[in-house]
Structure 1
Amino acid sequence: MNKPLILIVTIVYLMLCASLFVVQEGQRGIVLRFGKVLRDRDEKPLIYNPGLHIKIPFIETVKNLDARIQTMENQADRFVTMEKKDLIVDSYIKWRISDFSRYYLATGGGEISQAEVLLKRKFSDRLRSELGRLHVKGIVTDSRNQLMTDVREALNHGTSGDEDELQATDHAIASAAARVERETKGSQSAAVNSNSMAALGIQVVDVRIKQINLPTEVFDAIYQRMRAEREAVARRHRSQGQEEAEKLRATADYEVTRTLAEAERQSLIIRGEADAQTAKLYADAFSIDPAFYAFIRTLRAYENSFNDKNNFIILSPESDFLRFMKSPGHWHE
């Protein structure tokens, strides 16, 4: 094969490669010829679906648009409720391109950053308006889901237009919609509300509030108030506990005193009965021989009286106490 043929084949191959382009799944393609969008008979930009397509090499270029659902995280912002209370709301938005030709023209070339700027501003204005109609309790409880639904519907379909709160964002969206109408010479088939995201070719799939917080200064004030309330409750419970403790302690002391008194009484009764029984036994035992009883009692008296060497008793020799220390002949005198 000679060199001219190889050159021709190479040129044909390069021309063929430059003429074909592939639109990936999840994307849509727009062809630009000398920087201008190719349009159909209705002046709408030609949209290429996923697949293999042909273009004029070196003259036409392809702009790919993402057809998948996008997630836009919103920075936490401050909002005011109906009762004039501030809330810090953290949220996100799920959106996708619903009209690629309108989206491309309205955003000046399909720039996601420009679309998200308008979407974020519109969402913030709409959320601020909706939160201003609700109380804090409704926002954090049963009205939260309805709030998200109302915001999503307002973004997709716009507002009635007779509200006094027509924001600068609405004017920006309306200007973008008017630009689309001018460039397509009013040939867009579907009429859309000029202050809705549909005017930009965008559909809001979902909006969600991730977190609702109080501002730091309000949070600290509420925390201090809650702490004071809890401390008051704790003091009340402690005082009630001390009162109950005193009652229980007094009851226990009373029971102890009563039990000891009852025990002492029983012991005295038992001791008295024992002494009486002992005296009776002694009486019964010694009544048989009174003289022997007198002798035993006297010996015990001697034992108790002379149990210490340092004890001295001065008695008359004629004392009857010492009669058993005398000769046996004097015992019965």
Structure 2
Amino acid sequence: MNKLLVLGAVALAAVFVAAGAFFTVHQTQQVLITQFGQPIRVIQQPGLNVKLPFIQSVIVFDRRLLDFEGPGEEVILGDQRRLIVDSFTRYRITDPLLFFQTVGATEAGIRGRLNSIVSSALRRVLASEQLLSVLSADRTRIMAEIRRQVNEEARRFGIEVTDVRIRRADLPDENTQAILARMQTEREREARQLRAEGAEQAQRIRAQAERDRTVLLAEAEGQANILRGQGEQEAIRIFAEAFQRDPEFFQFWRTMQAYREVFGNGESRMVLTPESDFFRFFRDIPHLAPAGR
């Protein structure tokens, strides 16, 4: 019975020791083995590994891309304008031993250092750039230079910076109001200029239209006079031909036209002698002729 208890205790101790001796490195991890706080070796390949139990410790670091978002800060550009810049950084731990020696066993230690490094690089690079460059396609070139400087300084901590980006770039409130006022003034000036150019063009179009109208009316009046003259000439010719064919009938018809125009409304009055030539056709009518004739 005692032997069984001893064997059980030995087996339990062996299992406990084995559990403390074996460990697994995941594909997303890299491991630093320390012994009494001193680094012994680095394991970056995934798989099952062995360490001395109770003596050696395993410190795990992430080998994936890590993000760091820096707080917004105010920087002065090359044209002396102030800009509120909010940036983020992506990095990975490439040397766990150097990282442990310079930063510590946790990733929290690198954040304060990255904040200082990124802030300094932003200020150095943006101090020589204009506002339009930061807000245009030149930002790619600017961020490449910032990333290069940040990566050079970050290597001494065992990390590699893969990207640094400006997430937001805003002007301070007082500058924003001044720029908005200047933009409004500029737009109002452009609007006044466009309205003046439009009025000038409208006046030019109206003048051209009036000129064309005058020309068209003159040409139409001239054509109308020509046609009127031709019509009158043709009417005179027709009247002349009619008169030559039957002068007496033509004279009678013209006299009847005159009677209709004079007496047609019933309100005309004429003071003429009965012997007037105007009434010669009335004298020729038997029942209207004077007595004794």
In the superposition, the TM-score normalised over structure 1's length comes to 0.72
2-structure distance, mates of 1:117, 1:317: 134
Alpha carbons of 1:318 and 1:120: their partners in 2 closer, same or farther (altered >3 Å)?
same
8 A contact 2:76–2:126 mirrored in 1: yes
The verdict on how the C-alpha distance between 1:127 and 1:312 changes in structure 2, with shifts beyond 3 A counting, is closer
**The 10-residue stretch of structure 1 (116-125 or 212-221) with the greater mean CA deviation from structure 2:** 212-221
Q: Does 1:128 align with 2:123?
A: yes
- Is residue 113 of structure 1 aligned with residue 108 of structure 2? yes
Match of 2:217 in 1: 260
Contact 1:82–1:135 under 8 Å retained in 2:
yes
Aligned match of 2:27: 25
Aligned counterparts of 2:134 and 2:262: Cα–Cα separation in 1: 102
The 1:278–1:30 alpha-carbon spacing in structure 2 relative to 1, beyond 3 Å, is closer
Shift, 1:80, TM fit: 0.7
- Post-superposition Cα deviations, 1:141-173, rounded to whole Å, max 9, x if no partner, equal 68655544544444444xxxxxxxxxxxxxxxx
Contact kept, 8 Å, 2:34 with 2:41, in 1: the verdict is: no
Matched, 1:88 2:76: no
Q: Which residue of 2 aligns with 1:240?
A: 197
Cα separation, 2, equivalents of 1:138 and 1:131: 10
Q: Is it true that 1:69 corresponds to 2:65 in the alignment?
A: yes
**CA displacement at 1:79 relative to structure 2:** 0.8
Deviation at 1:270, TM superposition (A): 1.9
Following superposition, the deviation at residue 51 of structure 1 comes to 2.8
SS at match of 1:287: helix
Residues 1-57 of structure 1, C-alpha deviations (whole Å, 9 max, x = no match):
996455654443333223211122232223455xx3244xxxxx4333433222344
State the secondary structure of the residue aligned to 2:73.
Answer: strand
Q: 1:221 maps to what in 2?
A: 178
- RMSD over aligned Cα atoms: 3.2
1:170-189 correspondence to structure 2 within 5 Å: none
- Residue 94 of structure 2: aligned partner: 98
- Residues 147 and 266 of structure 1: CA distance in aligned 2, closer, same or farther (over 3 Å): closer
Q: CA deviation at 1:121?
A: 1.1
- Give the AA of the match of 1:26: T
Closer/same/farther in 2, CA of residues 285 and 146 from structure 1, 3 Å limit:
closer
Structure 2: which 5+ residue stretches go unaligned? none
Q: Distance in 2 between matches of 1:316 and 1:143?
A: 111
**DSSP 3-state at the match of 1:111:** coil
The answer as to 2:73 corresponding to 1:48 is: no
Determine if contact 1:31/1:37 at 8 Å carries over to the other structure: no
* Matched-pair contact (CA < 8 Å) for 1:95–1:203: yes
Where does structure 1 lack aligned partners over 5 or more consecutive residues?
40-44, 158-195
Contact 2:31 2:96 in 1 (8 A): no
Whole-Å Cα distance in 2 between the matches of residues 308 and 84 of structure 1? 97
Give the partner amino acid of 1:27. Q
Q: Distance in 2 between matches of 1:227 and 1:247?
A: 30
1:156-197 alpha-carbon deviations (Å, 9 max, x no partner): 44xxxxxxxxxxxxxxxxxxxxxxxxxxxxxxxxxxxxxx43
Distance 1:145 1:211 in 2: 14
The alpha-carbon deviation at position 124 of structure 1 amounts to 0.6
3-state SS, counterpart of residue 46 of structure 1 = strand
Match of 2:265 in 1: 308
The number of residues matched between the two structures is 285
Work out whether 1:208 is the aligned partner of 2:165: yes
Output the CA distance in 1 between the equivalents of 2:108 and 2:237. 119
Note the C-alpha offset of 1:132.
Answer: 1.9
* Distance in 1, Cα, partners of 2:61 & 2:206: 82
8 Å CA contact retained: 1:30, 1:38? no
| TM-score when normalising by structure 2 | 0.80
Distance across 1 between alignment mates of 2:124 and 2:25? 41
